[in-house]
Structure 1
Amino acid sequence: MIIYRGAGFFTLLTPIVAVLLLMWLQQDPTVAKGNMTLPQFLLGCGIGAAINTLLGFVLNRGVRAEGEPAKHHFFYLPMQWPSLAIVVVCAVVAAVR
């Protein structure tokens, strides 16, 4: 059973890469080396998921026949929708925090 199809694995990969890049490029001197603050983590996840949302809209554009699955999906949903949910969760947590 495959949980992704096509480029659907980018749904998890792009936020992880964005967090690692942000950790490497913008090191916070107030935390121990290799750690990051919650706002940095939320920013990295939000940026990575936003990039993946746009990528999902571009890759899955076009008309599909009724009942035909998306070409690029993650957990049987087109890859842009779980990424959009990650962006919303990051924004809500940042607003509440």
Structure 2
Amino acid sequence: MIYRGAGIMTLLTPVCMVLLIMWLFPDPTVKAGNTSLAQFLIGVGVGSAINTVVGLLLNRRIHNDGVHHHFFYIPMQWPALAICVICAVTFLFTKHKIL
């Protein structure tokens, strides 16, 4: 399996945040059902930041049942942090229109 425990949240949280941002703040400059790059990067970045904090809290102590929260055999907070940093760097280096 590619995830253990709550590791699947590494993928699900950013996707849910993108959908939530698309629903709450629709971009009038793009066609219906699409999103701008800025909205996508903000959604994935915020979702990954949330997931980084959750991963740090979940993997802070050793559990009695032996459950660790991993994604691709890496503790889930580290891939989420990498995704968050990539989104932030991409957002800073592209021409963007904020929400």
What's the TM-score, normalizing by structure 2? Answer: 0.88
Give the 5 Å matches for 1:15-94. Answer: 15-62=14-61, 71-94=68-91
Name the amino acid aligned to 2:40.
Answer: F
> Is there any run of 5+ residues in structure 1 with no aligned partner, and where?
none
Name the amino acid aligned to 1:46.
Answer: G
Shift >2 Å, 4+ stretches: none
Sequence identity (%): 60
Deviation at 1:62, TM superposition (A): 1.8
Distance 2:5 2:75 in 1: 10
Paired residue total: 92
What's the TM-score, normalizing by structure 1? Answer: 0.90
TM-superposition CA deviations, 1:44-64 (whole Å, max 9, x none):
000000000000000000258
Deviation at 1:70, TM superposition (A): 6.9
TM-superposition CA deviations, 1:34-84 (whole Å, max 9, x none):
1111001000000000000000000000258xxxx8700000000000000
2:35 counterpart SS class? coil
